Amino acid sequence: MTSRTMTLRDRITALLRTRTGEEFCAACIAKMLDVRHKSAHQAALKLEASVAFRRQYGRCSTCGKTRLVATALGPTAAPPD
Residues lying near Zn ion in the complex (CB under 5 A): 25, 28, 60, 62-63
Please give the distance of CA 14 from its chain centroid, rounded to a whole number.
8
Measured from the CB atom, the residue of 42 and 75 that comes closer to Zn ion is: 42
Tell me the closest approach of the beta carbon of residue 65 to Zn ion, in angstroms.
Answer: 6
Measured from the CB atom, the residue of 13 and 26 that comes closer to Zn ion is: 26
Helix orientation angle between 37-47 and 8-18, rounded to the nearest 10 degrees: 70
Measured from the CB atom, the residue of 13 and 70 that comes closer to Zn ion is: 70
Would the CA dihedral through 27, 9, 19, 59 be positive or negative?
A: positive
